[in-house]
Chain A
Amino acid sequence: MTKASPHLSLEELLAHADGTAEPADPHLDRCPACRAELDAWRAVAPAVRDSAPAAQPHPRVLRGVLDAIDGPRRVRRRGPAVLSWVAAAAALVAIAGYVLLPRTASAPVEEAFDAQRVAAMGLLATECESLQVAAGSLRVVDGSRLVVRTAGGKDIRVDVAPTAKVTRQIAGTVADLVPGMSVLVRGEGSRAGDTLAAGSVLVAPAKLKPPRLPGGMGLGITAMLAGHGIAMGTVSQIRDGAFTVTGADGGKVKVTTSASTTLVRQSAARLTDLTTGKYTTVVGTLQGDGTLQARTVQQDTLTDGDKPSRPEGLKPPGGLPKPPGMKDPFSGLGCDADAIAGTALNGTPI
C-alpha cells in the first residue's frame, strides 16, 4: 500500500504483529480490515518463532572459528593482525569513551527518505525501522511531553505514554554490588590489563555487551580494554571493596575501589523525577506530526548538557581505520529499545 492509503502497510502490520511497533496505531481502532489483517499476522508470528525455538550453536563452533583464525595462518598474519587489534582496541576505546557516531550518508537507498527526515530532525536512526533515537539535553517536562535538545541544537518533541519505560541514574555505593551484576567500570588499568583501579562504576540494567569488533571475534579484548581503563562484564568475588569483572570473552579483571570511587545505577523513575538540563536519551517511533512516541526514556543524572561527557584520559583514536559497522552504534541491537537507549546514554551497548 502507498502512503496515500489510510491503511497500514504490510511492513507496519508485521511490525505490530511482531510486537516491535508501539504504540497502537489509532487507525487500527477504527479500521476492521486492518485489524483483521493484524490479527491474522499475530496468529502467525508466535507460531513461526515457536516452530523452531531459537537454537544456540555448540561452543565448538566458535572454538573452530577461533582455531582456524589462529591456526595455520598465524605466522603470516601476525604482523597485520596485531596492528588490526591495536586499531580495534583504539576504536573500542572511542566507543566506550562516549563517542556517538550518527549514521552516515551511506544508509540504504530504500531508507533514504525516512533517513533524511530523521537526520534533518536531529534524530538518530537505528537498524530497526520503527525506532529512532533522540539524545541530548532535557529542556522541558510538561505532563507526558518532553522536549530534548540535541547537540546540533534541534529541539525534539517527545510524547511519553504511561507504558513507556523511564529510568534515570542514581548514586549508590560500592556496597550495592552483588555477584552477577553487569557493570561498566572506568579507571586506571594496569599495562597487562589484569587489574583496574576504579574511578567510576556504572551498574547496567541489562547484560553488558562490548561493542562489535572487526570480524567480531574479541580475543583478549577484556584485557585490552582494561589496559585502556575500562572493564565491562559481570561482577563476582566481591571482597573488601574489590571485585572481579568477567568480560564477554571470559577474560577477568581484578577491580579495586577507593573512597573516591563513584557508583551509579539505572533506577525506575517517573517523568517528574527527571531533571532538565541533564543528558537524556529517548527511543521511540517518529510520528507523522514530528513527535517521537517514546518507548524508553533514560537520563544520565551525572552529566549536564547536550552530550555525554568523555571520561578523562580517553581520547578517540586518530588516523586509525574504523572497523566495519562502527558508523552505526546501534548495529546488532535490532528493535531492543532498552539496549538502544542504553547505548545512546552510555556510548556503549548495554
Chain B
Amino acid sequence: MTLYERHSGVVYSHLVLLTDDHGLSEEILQDTMLAVWRGAGGFRGDSSVRSWIIAIARRQCRDRLRRRRPTLVPQDVLANRPAAEPGPEEQVLDRMAAGAMMTAVGALPRHHREVLDLVFRTGLPLAEIAKILEIPVGTVKSRLFAARAALVRSMPEGGYAS
C-alpha cells in the first residue's frame, strides 16, 4: 500500500496535467499501478521508483491518447539560456502577482507545463526527468528556461502591473 500512497498523488496530478481529464487519469493510474505490480521484477534500479512509475504512467497515457487523438507529440521548443545577470525577465518575475502567475502557468503549452510540473512537483533530478521525457538533459534545461520565458511573455502588461 505504501508505494501506492507515496506515489499515486504525484502520478495522478501529472496525468491530470497531461490529459485534462480526471476520469481518464484515474483509469490510466489504475492501469499504471497494475503494470507496476505485475512488472515489479522488471525494475532495474537505475532510476528512482518514482521516475520509474511516472515513465510507465506516461507510456500508458500515450497509448490511450494515441487511440483518441493521433497526433500529440509536442514540438520541442529550444531557447537560449538568458544572460546570468538580473535582466528584464527576472524583474518581471519579481513583480508578478502570485495569482496571475498561477493562471499563466495553467495557460502554458503542455510541454512547458509538464517539465515545470516534473521539476517542482516530483522533485526528481534533471537527469531522471530527461529519461522520463526521453530527451537529453540539455533539452530539459532549455525547455525549462523556455517555459519560464513563456511565463513572462504571457503576463498582462508585460508583468509590470505593480
Contact surface of A with B, Cβ cutoff 8 Å: 7, 10-11, 14, 17-18, 20, 32-37, 39-41, 43-52, 54-58, 60-62, 64-65, 68-69, 106, 108-111, 127-129, 209-218, 221, 248-249, 323-325, 327-328, 331-332, 334-335, 349
Q: Are A216 and B141 in contact (CB under 8 A)?
A: no
Q: Are A216 and B37 in contact (CB under 8 A)?
A: yes
Interface of B is mostly: helix
Q: Are B6 and A212 in contact (CB under 8 A)?
A: yes
Q: Are B37 and A61 in contact (CB under 8 A)?
A: no
For A20, what are the chain B residues with a Cβ–Cβ distance below 8 Å? Answer: 123
A59 to chain B, nearest CB (A): 10
Closest A residue to B38 by beta carbon equals: A215
Q: Are B13 and A327 in contact (CB under 8 A)?
A: no
Given A50-B102, A68-B34, A216 contacting B9 (CB threshold 8 A): no
Cα(A331)–Cα(B17), bound, Å: 25
Contact surface of B with A, Cβ cutoff 8 Å: 1-10, 12-13, 16-17, 22, 25-26, 29-30, 33-34, 36-38, 40-41, 43, 45-50, 84-87, 89-90, 93-94, 96, 98, 101-106, 113, 116-117, 119-121, 123, 125-128, 141, 144, 148, 151
Cα(A337)–Cα(B86), bound, Å: 32
17 A–B contacts from the bound complex (CB under 8 Å): A18-B120, A32-B86, A33-B84, A40-B94, A40-B148, A47-B101, A48-B119, A48-B121, A51-B103, A51-B106, A55-B9, A61-B30, A62-B4, A109-B46, A110-B125, A212-B49, A248-B2
B123 to chain A, nearest CB (A): 5
Cα(A247)–Cα(B119), bound, Å: 32
Cα(A55)–Cα(B25), bound, Å: 11
For A106, what are the chain B residues with a Cβ–Cβ distance below 8 Å? Answer: 45-46
B130 to chain A, nearest CB (A): 9
Interchain CB contact (< 8 A) of B104 among A34, A47, A54: A47
Q: Are A215 and B93 in contact (CB under 8 A)?
A: no
Cα(A248)–Cα(B49), bound, Å: 20
Q: Are A44 and B93 in contact (CB under 8 A)?
A: yes
Q: Are B2 and A324 in contact (CB under 8 A)?
A: no
Q: Are A129 and B6 in contact (CB under 8 A)?
A: no
Q: Are A58 and B84 in contact (CB under 8 A)?
A: no
Q: Are A7 and B94 in contact (CB under 8 A)?
A: no
Closest A residue to B26 by beta carbon equals: A61
For B10, what are the chain A residues with a Cβ–Cβ distance below 8 Å? Answer: 54
For A111, what are the chain B residues with a Cβ–Cβ distance below 8 Å? Answer: 127
Among A44, A217, A325, A334, the most chain B Cβ lie within 10 Å of the Cβ of A44
Interchain CB contact (< 8 A) of A212 among B3, B25, B47, B125: B3
